[in-house]
Amino acid sequence: MTSTSELKEIIELTAAGELPDRNGIVRMLSVRDPGEREALFNAADLVRKTCVGDEIFLRGIIECSGYCIRNCHYCGLRAQNKGIHRYRIPDDEIVQRAKGLKERLCTTVVLQSGEDPHYDKERLCSIISRIKEETGLAITLSIGERPYDDYRAFREAGADRYLLRHETANPELYRKLHPGYELSDRVQCLKWLGELGYEKGSGCIVGLPGQTIGDLADDVLLFRGLDIDMIGVGPFIPHPGTPLANNPAGDTDLVLNMIAVLRLVTRDTNIPATTALGVLDPESRRRAFHAGANVFMPNFTPDPYTAYYEIYPGKGPEAGAIAKASEGGYKTLFEGMARPIGTGFGYRGKVK
């Protein structure tokens, strides 16, 4: 293990723009000493301020469907889970919900679902184009792997961003957690999205059974190597309807370390303080903004659907409460941070 002085040098060089090696990333991710963690967070916060500014951008999520054809071992929406209520929000209701986001200070709508064939290319293009024409909002899709032609059609219809989390950069662990699928296919989709001009987002889960600190360092390097524009990191939360039900939840301190390291390494990316982090520890989600986060994604899925989108337990009530927040409610959430709510679209890029 490197000394505190060596850690300080790693942090300083990374903050100055030098890419650390895998061992350096592992050392930063592993910090536990309160003083070392504060030094890591302070450096990440300064890079955040320099590269993306003080604004916190709100991106409102609408969870369109609780159906999924996949059987990922960590996700409550997995097709073999018979213990949840499945739903699909009608197309008109999705559009109407999106129209209300401007009043809640959101400049982006995120359409999220399981991998649901009901939302084929034609249906989704219609929804996307209607939202774009009627709201002018930036549109993010989070609907899984699709053929290249679908991605191109969605882009032409008005989609601006696409969130496709890879969850782990360890190919063997990915294969184990995603039966029948390969990490290389997910990476190929992310490359396609970049070629088509999307702002591409990805993410990983911290605390997956069998995951190592080295695996998380490889996640950091993969994000950097793919030039990902938005990175979501959250803790593993076991769902009772999955094969991983009896495993412990992820470590929120390690999630915060990961956010800080990602800010140092990727500099001007957009990094949210995720809902999953808030479910395990609301204070950790607030602390994420000191560790380098600059995006908050309130949930605007209408009742009763919000309680049915069970990717992990505990998110329904919290999501509903945030969705009902007024402007004053957001200001309370960010109280003491001296961080204004962003009024632009929050595209990736250095502060002008």
For 242-291, the pLDDT digits (tens) are 999 999 999 999 999 999 999 999 999 999 999 999 899 989 989 999 99
Q: Where are the beta strands (DSSP E) in the chain?
A: 57-65, 108-113, 138-142, 161-163, 199-206, 230-235, 295-296
Q: Per the domain annotation, does 176 fall within a domain?
A: yes
pLDDT tens-digit series, residues 57-100: 999 999 999 999 999 999 999 999 999 999 999 999 999 999 99
Domain contains 146 = yes
Residues in a beta bridge with 56: 341
What is the rounded average pLDDT of the residues 23-39?
97
pLDDT over 50 at 319, yes or no: no
| Percent share of the chain, pLDDT over 70 | 93
Provide the number of structural domains found in the chain: 1
Residue 14, domain member (yes or no): no
- Please say if the pLDDT value at position 322 is more than 60: no
Q: Distance between CA atoms of 217 and 199, rounded to whole angstroms?
A: 23
State the average pLDDT for the chain: 93
| Residue 351 maps to a domain | no
CATH of residue 271: 3.20.20.70
- Domain assignment present for residue 257? The answer is yes
pLDDT digits (tens, 9 = 90+) for 138-151: 999 999 999 999 99
Does residue 5 belong to any structural domain of this protein? no
Q: What is the domain extent for residue 191? A: 39-333
Location of structure tokens 């303080």: 273
Which is more confident, 242 or 319?
242
Asked if the structure places residue 342 within a domain, the reply is no
pLDDT of residue 314: 82
- Is residue 61 within 8 A of residue 112, CB to CB? The reply is yes
Question: In Å, how far are 46, 178, 218, 227 from 212, measured between CA atoms?
Answer: 28, 18, 10, 23
Q: How far is CA 253 from CA 42, 287, 318, in A?
A: 15, 10, 21
Q: Is residue 112 part of a domain?
A: yes
